[in-house]
Structure 1
Amino acid sequence: MRADQTGEPAAGPDWRKRLLLGGGALAVLVAAYFILAATIPRWWAQRVGDAVRGHLSTGLVIGLAIGVSCTLLPLVVAWIGLHKRRSWKAVVGWLSLAVLLALPNLWTLSVVVGRGSAAHAGQRVMDVNAPWFRGATLVGAITAVVVFVGVLIFSRTRRGRRAKAAESAEREA
């Protein structure tokens, strides 16, 4: 047993306090999930519907822009955060930023695949006020993933060719 400066035995962690705090935090997270699941899809569909205003071409352009940017930027940020060895706090920070940048895509996904009444209301709003938005967002997201993977593959093969060229130049010299 450890002793502090006064000679009294040092107290270990208070597990009851930790369990109560953890349980309270879990209860808050569960409540927040249900509140957000009941509000976010409807709110997001209204925002998108206000921006698109029922125009097919506007839904297409905004959907593509959100799909590409809110997929490509989070992928790049996550790659930066995970590419080099960093402290766990830095990794959590980079990944949190990536999730923050991906929120519009995640909100659209909550409308598309959600099963609650808010998701169904959001689907109806997007059907009328934001045509082509959901499909264009999907196309934009897929395009962004393909571009990201293509750039990674191209940069690795290009680096490999440069390394081989440098190696053969060293042999000749």
Structure 2
Amino acid sequence: MSESTAPRPDDAPGSAGQPGAAMAKRRMPVWLRRTIVGAVAAIVLVVAYFIASVTVPLAWATSIRDQTGGKLGNAIPLGMFYGFVFSFVPVAVAWQAHHKKLDKWVRIGLLVVAVLLTLPNLLTLAVLYGTTGSAADARSIWTTGGANWFGTWSQIFMVAGVVCAVGVIVLGRAWISRGRKIRQIKAAERLVRVNDAAKARAARDAGRAAEKRARAAGRAAEKSARAGSRTNPGTPLGGVRPATTPQNPPSGEGPGTPPDGTPQA
């Protein structure tokens, strides 16, 4: 005989003997899991910071020294370039995140890109004002490698880049606002012209309609007058019948006979 397929009491989902119920009881709380993840992330960030504070300033100082080629004159334009570009562009990119029409993640992405674009200037400031031994070694590399003017000109043009970016943003907003006002004025003038044209067209239509009605009334009056003249043939179009004159006077009265019947001599 085949085995019965009816569910047994031990196979019930909520029975205490099932592994799923035991795993549900042993599941880690959400707050504890988030705490552990946050602690691990913080430890990783701290370790990465210490490693970067030791290696990155030296690597950046060596890169700038190699770009200048050991020539003091090359440090000035290089510092101007890094200072201006990597302060102007990040401010301009970060400003785009204020548009509320953009998606939330797009705005966050713009802010992240802006922060990443400031890394060259942040590395320069870390070398110039760092208190670690690696920062001091990086400054000595610039001093002995002909790049000691790089930091000064880079800082000057950092400020210039931020000021120019803010100025461009302010002027751009003023230009956009002016363009918006001009478009509104033109739209209002166009609406006035359209309304005036509509009124003039309505007046012309009304005049034509009145003229048409007047012509129709004249034709109706003329038609009624003609109908009346056909009904009374002796009546002219004006409707006034002329006085009748006797064609044949009474007997005994001629043209030369006076009213008393006495013939004239």
TM-fit CA distance, 1:13 = 4.8
- Per the TM alignment, residue 73 of structure 1 is displaced from its structure 2 partner at its CA by 1.6
Moved more, 71-80 or 102-111: 71-80
Note if 1:40 corresponds to 2:73.
Answer: no
**Counterpart in 2 of 1:93?**
109
Match of 2:122 in 1: 106
Partner of 1:60: 76
Match of 2:87 among 66, 71, 81: 71
Partner SS for 1:77? helix
C-alpha distance in structure 1 between counterparts of 2:120 and 2:98, whole Å: 22
CA distance in 1, matches of 2:104, 2:185: 40
Q: Is the 8 A contact 1:63 1:135 kept in 2?
A: yes
Q: Deviations over 1:68-118 (max 9, x none)?
A: 111122112211233334444222211111122111111101101111111
- Say which of 158, 165, 169 aligns to 1:141: 158
Q: Which residue of 2 aligns with 1:161?
A: 178
Retained in 2: the 8 A contact 1:67–1:138? yes
Structure 1 pair 13–93 and aligned structure 2 pair: CA distance change class (3 A): farther
Q: CA RMSD in A?
A: 2.3
Rounded Cα–Cα distance in structure 1 between residues aligned with 2:157 and 2:148: 15
Q: Secondary structure at the match of 1:115?
A: coil
State the partner residue of 2:169: 152
Q: C-alpha displacement at 1:28, in angstroms?
A: 0.9
CA contact (8 A) 1:114 1:120 kept: yes
TM-score (norm 2): 0.57
Q: In the aligned structure 2, how far is the partner of 1:95 from the partner of 1:147? A: 19
Kept in 2: contact 1:54–1:131 (CA 8 A)? no
- Say whether the 8 Å CA contact 1:78–1:95 is kept in structure 2: yes
Q: How far apart are residue 167 of structure 1 and its match?
A: 4.3
- Displacement of 1:153 in angstroms is 1.6
- Structure with bigger helix share is 1
Stretch deviating more after TM superposition (144-153 or 82-91): 82-91
Question: Secondary structure, in 3 states, of the residue corresponding to 2:118?
Answer: helix
Structure 2's unaligned 5+ residue stretches are 1-12, 15-20, 193-265
Pick 1 or 2: higher relative contact order, CA cutoff 8 A, min separation 6.
Answer: 1
Q: CA deviation at 1:149?
A: 1.2
Alignment counterpart, residue 148 of structure 2, candidates 131, 140, 148: 131
In the alignment, residue 60 of structure 1 is paired with which amino acid?
Answer: I
Which string of whole-angstrom CA distances, capped at 9 and with x for unpartnered residues, describes residues 116-173 of structure 1? Answer: 1111111111122213111111122122112111111212222333344444445554
Q: Size of the alignment, in residue pairs?
A: 168
1:10-25 matched pairs, under 5 angstroms: 13-25=29-41
Distance 1:170 1:77 in 2: 33
Q: Which has the larger radius of gyration?
A: 2
Moved more, 29-38 or 13-22: 13-22
- Report deviation, 1:57: 1.9
